[in-house]
Amino acid sequence: MKSVLVAGGAGFVGSHLVDRLLRRADIARLVVVDNLWSGLVDNLSHIRDPRFHFEPSDVEAVQSPHLFDEIYHLASPASPPWYMQQPERTISANLIGAMRLRELLKDGGRFCYTSSSEVYGDPIVSPQPESYRGQVDCTGPRSSYDESKRCTEAFLFESQRVRNLDVRVVRPFNIYGPRTRADDGRAVSNFAMQALTGRPITIYGDGLQSRSWGYIDDIIEGFERFFWRDTFDYRGPLNIGNDREISVIDVARHVCKLVPGSRIIHVDPAPQDPTNRCPDLTLARQLLPGWSCHIPYEQGVKMTIDWFANQMRRERRAVSNG
């Protein structure tokens, strides 16, 4: 029976991963370490599983009397407004967090890390294969995130080379869905909240910048297969995402259709906002045959809006019940 640690498990993606891990019968103990910087206790409050434990702590300083068979390191904000506000903290969570967590892994254990498509920066190659080395500005306003992802990958792949560490690194592209914070600041959640609260939908720049949005359930399925379910010899990073590229303005227009009365306004472009982002999924298709993002954004955006609307109703009820 295995013991598992998930750092960042109170966050949007981490909490869905925890749900998936708890379906496994071979896990005896699952510890979530999270300092609730960008995560929410509410994301885990539905769990009634005696194997589950929550440890409120910075990942860099986490203490544990036990070592773990599997460690999942997701502790880092993913939203630009959040990480750009606290760059030192972002670098520390990723890199120092990985260094601390490696000390808590049993010999022969597996270390899984969520890097990011941001390692490709503002790409001049599209779609981006894992072999593309990217175009990141190490002095730019997004560098705390992009470069800490790159450096943490370097730390982990060097640990694999020098110490034979069993490493699994995913490079997820944009993910969206239920349990994103209402004040997360990224496109889909922003648009949903703006539309539901009667505010104009704000688009940075002309909105023609494209993204490849993956609905959370599809992404978690990819994580499950790469991190623990499928067997293969490959030991490098893997793109996980949706390769259907959609412009930001198209998503905003779709939200307008779903929430009648919404309107779009344009504001100044975000600093160093990548113009395009699209995964080359050749490798994912070879390693995880049959896996892909099945849920089209039209459906995923609707499910996300419905979830936000439901959360708002819950909060209103809680306020009116005192």
The answer to whether the beta carbons of residues 34 and 8 sit under 8 Å apart is yes
- In the beta sheet, which residues pair with residue 25? none
Q: Which stretch binds ligand NAD (CB under 6 A): 10-18, 156-164, 250-258, 304-312?
A: 10-18
Rounded to the nearest 10°, the torsion over CA 308, 313, 319, 322 is -130
* Complex with ligand NAD: residue 109 or 214, whichever CB lies closer: 214
Examine residue 159 and tell whether it contacts ligand NAD (CB under 6 A). no
The reply to whether 300 sits near ligand NAD by the rule CB under 6 A is: no
CA 193 to mean position of chain CA atoms: 19
Of 6, 30, 93, 196, which lies in the binding site for ligand NAD, with binding defined by CB under 6 A? 93
Q: What is the DSSP letter of 258?
A: H
Angle CA(11)–CA(14)–CA(18) in degrees, nearest 5?
A: 125
Alpha-carbon torsion, ordered 125, 126, 130, 135, to 10 deg: 40
Is residue 185 at the binding interface for ligand NAD, with CB under 6 A as the rule?
no
Asked whether the beta carbons of 140 and 293 are under 8 A apart, the reply is: no
Least separation in angstroms between CB 214 and ligand NAD: 8
Cβ 235 vs Cβ 280: under 8 Å: no
Taking the least distance from each CB to ligand NAD, the nearer of 217 and 266 is: 217
Q: Which is nearer to ligand NAD, 76 or 190 (CB)?
A: 76
From the list 68-76, 136-144, 197-205, 299-307, the region that binds ligand NAD by CB under 6 A is 68-76
Please pick, from the candidates 31, 75, 251, 295, the single residue that binds ligand NAD as defined by CB under 6 A. 75
Which of these segments, 34-42, 154-162, 286-294, 313-321, binds ligand NAD (CB under 6 A)?
Answer: 34-42
By C-beta, is 89 or 110 nearer to ligand NAD? 89
Q: CB-wise, 144 or 174, nearer to ligand NAD?
A: 174
Going by the DSSP 8-state scheme, the letter that residue 279 receives in this structure is B
**80 binding ligand NAD? (CB under 6 A):** no
CA distance 57 to 4: 16
Contact 31/64 with Cβ under 8 angstroms? yes
Q: Which of the ranges 33-41, 99-107, 255-263, 289-297 carries the binding residues for ligand NAD, by CB under 6 A?
A: 33-41
Measured on CA atoms in the order 242, 246, 251, 253, is the torsion positive or negative?
A: negative
Q: How many angstroms separate the CA atoms of 173 and 162, rounded?
A: 29
Contact characters 163-182, ligand NAD, x per CB under 6 A: ---------x-xx-------
Three-state secondary-structure class, residue 213: coil
Let me know if 72 is a catalytic residue: no
Size of interface with ligand NAD, in residues (CB under 6 A): 29
Give the three-class secondary structure for 273.
Answer: coil
Query: Cβ closer to ligand NAD: 207 or 279?
Result: 279
Q: Are 17 and 32 in contact (CB under 8 A)?
A: no
Please give the residues from 234 up to 273 whose contact with ligand NAD meets the rule CB under 6 A.
none
Q: State the nearest-atom distance from the C-beta of 143 to ligand NAD, in Å.
A: 14
From the candidates 72, 83, 145, 176, give the one annotated as an active-site residue. Answer: 145
Tell me whether residue 52 or residue 320 sits nearer to ligand NAD (CB atom): 52
If binding is defined by CB under 6 A, does position 281 make contact with ligand NAD? no
Give Cα 72 distance to the centre of its chain: 12
Asked if 297 and 246 count as a contact pair (C-beta separation under 8 A), the reply is yes
Q: Which residues are catalytic?
A: 145
Query: Which residues of this protein are in contact with ligand NAD, per CB under 6 A?
Result: 7-8, 10-14, 33-39, 58-60, 74-78, 93, 97, 114, 116, 172, 174-175
